[in-house]
Protein backbone atom coordinates (compact mmCIF):
# COMPACT_ATOMS: atom_id res chain seq x y z
CA UNK A 1 0.00 0.00 0.00
CA UNK A 2 1.41 3.45 -0.91
CA UNK A 3 1.80 6.23 1.64
CA UNK A 4 -1.01 8.19 0.02
CA UNK A 5 -3.40 5.26 0.22
CA UNK A 6 -2.45 4.68 3.87
CA UNK A 7 -3.08 8.34 4.69
CA UNK A 8 -6.46 8.19 3.01
CA UNK A 9 -7.33 5.04 4.93
CA UNK A 10 -6.34 6.69 8.22
CA UNK A 11 -8.35 9.81 7.43
CA UNK A 12 -11.35 7.67 6.59
CA UNK A 13 -11.01 5.79 9.88
CA UNK A 14 -10.78 9.04 11.80
CA UNK A 15 -13.86 10.46 10.11
CA UNK A 16 -15.78 7.24 10.76
CA UNK A 17 -14.72 7.42 14.43
CA UNK A 18 -16.08 11.00 14.62
CA UNK A 19 -19.41 9.92 13.14
CA UNK A 20 -19.60 7.01 15.59
CA UNK A 21 -18.81 9.39 18.45
CA UNK A 22 -21.72 11.66 17.45
CA UNK A 23 -24.08 8.69 17.27
CA UNK A 24 -22.88 7.30 20.62
CA UNK A 25 -23.23 10.65 22.40
CA UNK A 26 -26.70 11.32 20.99
CA UNK A 27 -27.79 7.84 22.13
CA UNK A 28 -26.21 8.49 25.55
CA UNK A 29 -27.96 11.84 25.90
CA UNK A 30 -31.32 10.39 24.93
CA UNK A 31 -31.09 7.57 27.44
CA UNK A 32 -33.46 8.67 30.09
CA UNK A 33 -32.29 8.06 33.61
CA UNK A 34 -35.35 9.66 35.06
CA UNK A 35 -37.30 7.42 37.42
CA UNK A 36 -40.95 8.02 37.98
CA UNK A 37 -42.29 4.58 38.97
CA UNK A 38 -42.23 5.58 42.64
CA UNK A 39 -44.61 8.49 42.01
CA UNK A 40 -47.32 6.11 40.78
CA UNK A 41 -46.97 3.95 43.89
CA UNK A 42 -46.85 7.03 46.15
CA UNK A 43 -50.00 8.53 44.62
CA UNK A 44 -51.73 5.14 44.72
CA UNK A 45 -51.07 4.95 48.44
CA UNK A 46 -52.19 8.59 48.79
CA UNK A 47 -55.53 7.80 47.12
CA UNK A 48 -56.05 4.91 49.54
CA UNK A 49 -55.19 7.16 52.50
CA UNK A 50 -57.61 9.84 51.29
CA UNK A 51 -60.39 7.28 50.72
CA UNK A 52 -59.86 5.71 54.15
CA UNK A 53 -59.72 9.12 55.85
CA UNK A 54 -62.84 10.37 54.04
CA UNK A 55 -64.76 7.13 54.70
CA UNK A 56 -63.92 6.49 58.34
CA UNK A 57 -62.86 9.98 59.42
CA UNK A 58 -65.85 11.66 57.76
CA UNK A 59 -63.65 14.64 56.99
CA UNK A 60 -64.14 17.07 54.11
CA UNK A 61 -60.45 17.87 54.28
CA UNK A 62 -59.34 14.28 53.59
CA UNK A 63 -58.93 14.64 49.81
CA UNK A 64 -57.57 18.20 49.53
CA UNK A 65 -55.11 17.76 52.43
CA UNK A 66 -53.86 14.36 51.21
CA UNK A 67 -53.51 15.57 47.62
CA UNK A 68 -51.66 18.78 48.49
CA UNK A 69 -49.44 16.91 50.96
CA UNK A 70 -48.59 14.24 48.38
CA UNK A 71 -47.94 16.93 45.77
CA UNK A 72 -45.43 18.64 48.06
CA UNK A 73 -43.84 15.32 48.97
CA UNK A 74 -43.52 14.40 45.27
CA UNK A 75 -41.85 17.74 44.54
CA UNK A 76 -39.37 17.37 47.40
CA UNK A 77 -38.39 13.77 46.53
CA UNK A 78 -38.19 14.52 42.80
CA UNK A 79 -35.90 17.51 43.35
CA UNK A 80 -33.63 15.38 45.53
CA UNK A 81 -33.30 12.36 43.24
CA UNK A 82 -33.56 14.05 39.86
CA UNK A 83 -31.77 17.34 40.44
CA UNK A 84 -28.76 16.49 38.29
CA UNK A 85 -30.75 15.23 35.33
CA UNK A 86 -30.93 17.52 32.31
CA UNK A 87 -34.28 18.65 31.07
CA UNK A 88 -35.43 17.17 27.79
CA UNK A 89 -38.32 18.32 25.62
CA UNK A 90 -39.96 14.91 26.05
CA UNK A 91 -39.59 15.04 29.82
CA UNK A 92 -41.10 18.53 29.94
CA UNK A 93 -44.01 17.44 27.74
CA UNK A 94 -44.86 14.55 30.06
CA UNK A 95 -44.40 16.68 33.17
CA UNK A 96 -46.74 19.29 31.64
CA UNK A 97 -49.47 16.70 31.05
CA UNK A 98 -49.38 15.37 34.61
CA UNK A 99 -49.17 18.83 36.16
CA UNK A 100 -52.11 20.10 34.11
CA UNK A 101 -54.20 17.00 34.86
CA UNK A 102 -53.33 17.22 38.56
CA UNK A 103 -54.33 20.88 38.81
CA UNK A 104 -57.53 20.27 36.78
CA UNK A 105 -58.53 17.40 39.06
CA UNK A 106 -57.78 19.38 42.19
CA UNK A 107 -59.79 22.42 41.07
CA UNK A 108 -62.72 20.32 39.85
CA UNK A 109 -62.93 17.98 42.83
CA UNK A 110 -62.48 20.74 45.41
CA UNK A 111 -65.08 23.01 43.80
CA UNK A 112 -67.60 20.27 43.07
CA UNK A 113 -67.38 18.68 46.50
CA UNK A 114 -67.51 22.06 48.30
CA UNK A 115 -70.59 23.01 46.28
CA UNK A 116 -72.10 19.62 47.03
CA UNK A 117 -72.93 19.11 43.36
CA UNK A 118 -71.13 15.84 42.84
CA UNK A 119 -72.08 12.30 43.75
CA UNK A 120 -69.57 9.54 44.36
CA UNK A 121 -70.01 7.87 40.98
CA UNK A 122 -69.45 11.13 39.10
CA UNK A 123 -66.44 11.92 41.28
CA UNK A 124 -64.88 8.53 40.51
CA UNK A 125 -65.68 8.84 36.80
CA UNK A 126 -64.08 12.31 36.63
CA UNK A 127 -60.92 11.24 38.44
CA UNK A 128 -60.62 8.01 36.43
CA UNK A 129 -61.20 9.60 33.04
CA UNK A 130 -58.58 12.31 33.74
CA UNK A 131 -56.02 9.74 34.90
CA UNK A 132 -56.80 7.74 31.76
CA UNK A 133 -56.14 10.85 29.68
CA UNK A 134 -52.79 11.56 31.34
CA UNK A 135 -51.65 7.94 31.03
CA UNK A 136 -52.73 7.75 27.38
CA UNK A 137 -51.00 11.02 26.46
CA UNK A 138 -47.79 9.91 28.22
CA UNK A 139 -47.88 6.50 26.56
CA UNK A 140 -48.25 8.09 23.12
CA UNK A 141 -45.29 10.42 23.73
CA UNK A 142 -43.17 7.58 25.12
CA UNK A 143 -44.49 5.05 22.57
CA UNK A 144 -45.12 2.73 25.52
CA UNK A 145 -47.92 0.23 25.03
CA UNK A 146 -47.96 -0.92 28.66
CA UNK A 147 -48.93 2.54 29.86
CA UNK A 148 -51.71 2.74 27.29
CA UNK A 149 -53.11 -0.49 28.69
CA UNK A 150 -53.35 1.17 32.10
CA UNK A 151 -55.03 4.18 30.47
CA UNK A 152 -57.65 1.72 29.23
CA UNK A 153 -58.03 0.43 32.79
CA UNK A 154 -58.81 3.98 34.01
CA UNK A 155 -61.23 4.69 31.15
CA UNK A 156 -63.04 1.40 31.78
CA UNK A 157 -63.35 2.29 35.48
CA UNK A 158 -64.75 5.70 34.51
CA UNK A 159 -67.31 4.18 32.18
CA UNK A 160 -68.41 1.50 34.69
CA UNK A 161 -68.71 4.05 37.46
CA UNK A 162 -71.28 6.04 35.46
CA UNK A 163 -73.63 3.03 35.42
CA UNK A 164 -72.77 1.39 38.76
CA UNK A 165 -74.14 1.77 42.26
CA UNK A 166 -72.14 3.57 44.97
CA UNK A 167 -70.77 0.30 46.35
CA UNK A 168 -69.91 -1.06 42.90
CA UNK A 169 -68.20 2.14 41.79
CA UNK A 170 -66.15 2.16 45.02
CA UNK A 171 -64.90 -1.38 44.31
CA UNK A 172 -64.11 -0.41 40.71
CA UNK A 173 -62.20 2.69 41.89
CA UNK A 174 -60.18 0.76 44.48
CA UNK A 175 -59.34 -1.89 41.88
CA UNK A 176 -58.35 0.74 39.29
CA UNK A 177 -56.07 2.43 41.83
CA UNK A 178 -54.45 -0.89 42.59
CA UNK A 179 -53.90 -1.73 38.91
CA UNK A 180 -53.21 1.75 37.52
CA UNK A 181 -51.05 3.03 40.37
CA UNK A 182 -49.62 0.23 42.51
CA UNK A 183 -49.18 -2.49 39.87
CA UNK A 184 -48.15 -0.11 37.08
CA UNK A 185 -45.83 1.84 39.40
CA UNK A 186 -44.16 -1.36 40.62
CA UNK A 187 -43.81 -2.62 37.04
CA UNK A 188 -42.25 0.72 36.08
CA UNK A 189 -39.81 0.59 39.01
CA UNK A 190 -38.71 -2.93 38.05
CA UNK A 191 -38.27 -1.85 34.39
CA UNK A 192 -36.26 1.21 35.46
CA UNK A 193 -34.01 -0.88 37.72
CA UNK A 194 -33.41 -3.39 34.91
CA UNK A 195 -32.65 -0.60 32.46
CA UNK A 196 -30.22 0.99 34.90
CA UNK A 197 -28.43 -2.33 35.43
CA UNK A 198 -28.19 -2.90 31.68
CA UNK A 199 -26.79 0.59 31.15
CA UNK A 200 -24.18 0.13 33.86
CA UNK A 201 -23.09 -3.16 32.30
CA UNK A 202 -22.90 -1.56 28.85
CA UNK A 203 -21.08 1.50 30.19
CA UNK A 204 -18.58 -0.72 32.05
CA UNK A 205 -17.83 -2.59 28.84
CA UNK A 206 -17.42 0.65 26.90
CA UNK A 207 -14.91 2.07 29.37
CA UNK A 208 -13.02 -1.17 29.87
Partner 1 sequence: MPEPGIEPESGLPELNPVIHGKLRLALLSLLSTVEEAEFTWLRAKTNSTDGNLGAQLLKLEEAGYVAVEKKFVLRKPQTLYRMTVSGRQALTDYVQALKQLLGSAINV
Regarding 25 and contact with partner 1 (CB under 8 A), the answer is: yes
Residue 76 CB, shortest distance to partner 1, in Å, is: 11
Query: Segment 114-173, which members bind partner 1 (CB under 8 A)?
Result: none
Regarding 204 and contact with partner 1 (CB under 8 A), the answer is: no
Nearer of residues 58 and 207 to partner 1, judged by Cβ: 207
CA 150 from centroid of its chain's CA atoms: 11
Quote the CA–CA distance of 101 and 133 in Å, as a whole number.
8
What DSSP state is assigned to residue 164? S
Stretch that binds partner 1, among 8-16, 61-69, 70-78, 182-190 (CB under 8 A): 8-16
Nearest CA-CA partner of 113 in 128, 102, 124: 124
Nearer of residues 56 and 89 to partner 1, judged by Cβ: 89
In angstroms, what CA-CA distances link 17 with 3, 24, 151? Answer: 21, 10, 44
Nearer of residues 15 and 162 to partner 1, judged by Cβ: 15
Quote the CA–CA distance of 24 and 114 in Å, as a whole number.
55
CA 90 from centroid of its chain's CA atoms: 12
Residue 194, CB-side half-sphere exposure with 13 Å CA sphere: 6
Query: Segment 66-85, which members bind partner 1 (CB under 8 A)?
Result: 83-85
Regarding 205 and contact with partner 1 (CB under 8 A), the answer is: no
Q: Which residues bind partner 1 (CB under 8 A)?
A: 8, 11-12, 14-16, 18-19, 21-22, 25-26, 28-30, 83-89, 92, 207
Amino acid sequence: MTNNAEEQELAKLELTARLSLIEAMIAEGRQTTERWGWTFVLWGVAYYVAIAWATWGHSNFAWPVTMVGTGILTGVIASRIGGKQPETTMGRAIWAIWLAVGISLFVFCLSASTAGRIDQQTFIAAVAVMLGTANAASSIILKWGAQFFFALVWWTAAAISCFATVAQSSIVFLSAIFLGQIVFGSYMMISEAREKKGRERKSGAAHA
